[in-house]
Structure 1
Amino acid sequence: MKKRLLPAAVLATALALTGCGTADTPSTPTPGASGALTPIKLQLQWFYQAQFAGYIAAVDQGFYREQGLDVQLLEGGVDIVPQTVLAQGKADYAVAWVPKALASREQGAGITDVGQIFARSGTYQVAWKDSGITKAADLKGKKVGNWGFGNEFELFAGMTKAGLDPGKDVTLVQQQFDMQALLKKEIDAAQAMSYNEYAQLLEAKNPATGALYQPGDFSVIDWKTEGSSMLQDAVWANTDKLNDPAYQQQTVKFLAGTIKGWAYCRDNAQACRDLVVAKGSKLGKSHQLWQMNEVNKLIWPAAGGIGVINDADWKQTVELSLTTKNQTGDTVLTKQPEGLAFTNDYIQQALTRAKAAGVDVNGTSFQPQTVTLTAGGA
């Protein structure tokens, strides 16, 4: 995987950062023509958490089996690059952020975005309220934490747009997979996902009061507001295999089951939280409910249907990948993506299939919940 735009001292990749019906008995499987389910492997981007609840639910509730598929979820981790696993033929599909996957494509990975599940970015840069940091330009002269390995692209894009040179105008600091460096005031601003690390701040106790910190204690730079957001969790397929009609139909079926899984988690957030916890997540129940709620915000409502790749958002992601420079002057991409970088052909067919089965694929009436966090996210 191409590893540009990396602070020098980063240790590992991070992402601790994403129905119809009720939690009834799964529907009867619909096997293929041979009567057997087709085995499928999906490589996730990180450890089990609500970021992947829709896939977990689709397995648990039998939505993939309805499509004649037997889907095995492959848990991610520190040393696992999903798009590489896919390109090497060790998985049939993978979940990965678009700029990171495009960087891998430029290096030769034969992969195609066939379903843009997250329509919105969930990346923040968080600072203390009294720091005066409210926008990217305010990071000048500050100690700025980030995870690296492709998770920092939006941060660098935001700084570049604000006229800052990441190599000269800020001090880049290796950030661990928690928010302790910010809480201890060792850095001025920390990278956080809306659905994970930001919640960790609100699960921590304020030593001055003994109560949990509140949103008012922090200021948030949202890259969507700054205009430097990039597309994140997408389903990637093997480009060469998309020439095979059987793989094409399999992709439609897989996406149809995935759509139903995410629709289920939209309408049954607590049930999906429980599925994720039961799957072995190390994060607590209130934290996972927060994560489920925030992930739903990144997906729903989906005006064009869940998973459809918006052309303007794609172009913005590519343009930022071509123009944003890191501290050494490198960019994410050196040229426009070549070949079949993305296609809406299969997700559109899957949406048609899902709608015919009565699935609400737009979630127009979606309303997020109010989630009460507890100490440590328990």
Structure 2
Amino acid sequence: MAFIATRGARAAAFTAAALGALTLTGCSSDEAEPAATGGDATTGAEAPAELTPVSVQLQWLTQAQFACYYAAADQGYYEDEGLDVTILPGAVDIVPIDVLTSGGADFAISWVPKVLGAIEQGAKVTDVAQIFERSGTTQVAFADSGITSAADLAGKAVGSWGYGNEWELIAGMQANGVTLADLPGGATVQQAFDMNAFIAGDIDAAQAMTYNEYAQVLETVNPETGELYTPEDLVVIDWNEEGTAMLQDAIWADSERLASDEDYAATTTKFIKGTIEGCIYAKDNPEAAADIVTAAGSTLGTSHQLWMTNEVNKLIFPSTAGVGHINEDQWEQTVSLALETVNPEGATIITADPPETAYSNEYVDAALEELKAEGVDVMGEDFTPIEVTLSEGGE
């Protein structure tokens, strides 16, 4: 199939900085025609179905973090559902929920704690599928730093990206009796979206996603050995293990459209269904999924892209209730932490419980039921990660 470059629609606030988007109309390897509806009374030939255009705003750039969506498009899962999906890559200055609520996209991918604050400020959006069941956020330190847990972060230079990515870190420190006042200068260190400052020794404990920044360290040569750094050189503080993990990549939909537009509601289930199939494809075919993302425009190296695909699979599989189902206990933990975790300005993410419309399993469960009826394994209980060998620089 071909990936066709287009310009995604943006609301007025975004038109000046509109990004090139990828219009991804899924197709099979033999370029099969779209599913037919009805036939020609004269010739008996089936007429191609008209696909419903759908756009989704990603939280970040094109990379295997979003392998589910790119694989779903490439393998024709969206097209099988009658959808023509345009994937809009993100950037530092793009807030996915703002794009969604301004009409610039039909769906958006974003972390739950970030969106809870937006909902409290008036955004009418609903988490309709929780694609990542586990958090990929960690804090990484060198093994000789004296840091072995979140409690050891007191007095250390602790890196954070900010932009709403810091909440698990702050919650983890608070749970271990460490406040921002216990850090040098009374604050975290502003960290770039890389590990350069950490490797240079300017940051003692750096924020790192399992599928990205952690690998960046392992792709770097240790000057003391002349070989790449190894996991044994590092200490990883995992917020899943610390009990302060918050829900991350979710599919968000427009709450008012869900309530008033039957076609949009039906499209939501179809989009989720195709996406879940894309996730399953990436699980079963990580090398192919990594190649699909690379072909879609990612600039990451081959080994890094495969590492990312493999690590993202771990955040999704095995699933406890079906890929995308929003587990109530995890939702409640995220909300509880959002109510209790205090940022450097002394404010919490939210001040009251979110409305009932903040999440719904109605659409994802409908998609899961359809998939199960078709014999699709939506749990992935037999999932086994592959072994990925990283190369210097992720090449």
Give your verdict on TM over 0.5.
yes
Deviates more, 1:190-199 or 1:337-346: 337-346
Q: Does 1:235 align with 2:244?
A: no
Q: Which residue of 2 aligns with 1:332?
A: 349
Letter in 2 for 1:350: A
Paired residue for 1:85? 99
| TM-score, with length taken from structure 2 | 0.88
Query: Of the candidates 104, 107, 122, which is equivalent to residue 121 of structure 2?
Result: 107
How far did 1:93 drift? 0.4
Structure 1 residue runs without a partner (length 5+): 1-22
Query: Does 1:47 pair with 2:61?
Result: yes
Q: Which amino acid aligns with 2:175?
A: K
Q: Structure 1 residue 348 and structure 2 residue 362: aligned?
A: no
Moved more, 24-33 or 86-95: 24-33
| 1:195-234 deviation per Cα after TM superposition (whole angstroms, max 9, x unaligned) | 0000000000011221100000010100111111000000
In 2, Cα distance between the equivalents of 1:56 and 1:29?
Answer: 18
Specify the alignment match of 1:248 in structure 2: 265
For 1:269 and 1:32, the matched residues in 2 are separated by: 34
**1:217 and 2:239 are equivalent in the alignment:** no
Partner of residue 13, structure 1: none
Q: Residue in 1 aligned with 2:176?
A: 162
Question: Aligned partners of 1:90 and 1:240: how far apart in 2?
Answer: 15
Structure whose alpha-carbon radius of gyration is higher = 2
8 A Cα contact 2:158 2:183, kept in partner: no
- Alpha-carbon distance in structure 2 between the residues aligned to 1:137 and 1:31: 60
| 2: CA distance, partners of 1:98 / 1:25 | 39
Structure 2 unaligned blocks of 5 or more: 1-27, 39-47
Q: Deviations over 1:310-329 (max 9, x none)?
A: 00000000000000111221
Secondary structure at 2:343's aligned position in 1?
coil
Name the amino acid aligned to 2:387: T
Task: Decide whether aligned partners of structure 1 residues 123 and 27 sit closer, same or farther in structure 2, where only a CA change above 3 A counts.
Answer: farther
Asked whether the equivalents of residues 137 and 207 of structure 2 are also in contact (C-alpha less than 8 Å), the reply is: yes
Aligned to 2:34: 29
Assess if the C-alpha contact under 8 Å between 2:132 and 2:249 holds in 1.
yes
Cα distance change on mapping 1:84 and 1:32 into 2, 3 Å: farther
Q: Structure 2: how far apart are the matches of 1:168 and 1:327?
A: 12
Question: SS of the residue aligned with 1:362?
Answer: coil
CA separation of 1:253 and 1:28: change in aligned 2, threshold 3 A: farther
Aligned position for 2:206: 190
- Asked if 1:57 corresponds to 2:62, the answer is no
Secondary structure of 2:158 counterpart: strand
C-alpha spacing 1:226/1:83, structure 2 compared with 1 (3 Å): same
Q: CA deviation at 1:191?
A: 0.1
- 1:299 pairs with one of 301, 316, 327: 316
Q: 1:272 maps to what in 2?
A: 289
2:382 matched residue in structure 1: 365
Partner residue in 2 for 1:377: 394
Given the superposition, is the C-alpha separation of residues 235 and 289 from structure 1 closer, same or farther in structure 2, using an over 3 Å criterion? Answer: same
Is the contact between residue 120 and residue 232 of structure 1 (CA under 8 Å) also seen in structure 2?
Answer: yes
Contact 1:110/1:239, CA 8 A, preserved across alignment: yes
Segment of structure 1 superposing worse, 166-175 or 349-358? 166-175
Percent identical pairs in the alignment equals: 55
Q: How far apart are residue 165 of structure 1 and its match?
A: 1.4
| Residue 25 of structure 1: how far off its partner (Å) | 3.9
Match of 1:135 among 149, 154, 165: 149
Please report the RMSD computed on the Cα atoms of aligned residues, expressed in angstroms: 1.5
In structure 1, the partner of 2:242 is 226
C-alpha separation in 2, matches of 1:187 and 1:327: 18
Q: Partner of 1:292: helix, strand, or coil? A: helix
How much has 1:24 moved relative to structure 2? 4.3
TM-score (norm: length of structure 1)? 0.92
What is the CA deviation profile of residues 154-192 of structure 1, one whole-angstrom value per residue up to 9, with x for unaligned ones? 000001111121144454111011101111101110000
d(CA) in 1 for partners of 2:359, 2:222: 46
Number of residue pairs the alignment of both structures matches = 356
Q: Which has the higher contact order (CA 8 A, sep 6+)?
A: 1
Greater Cα offset, 91-100 or 158-167: 158-167
Q: Distance in 1 between matches of 2:174 and 2:363?
A: 35
Could you tell which deviates more after superposition, 195-204 or 274-283? 274-283
Matched, 1:286 2:309: no
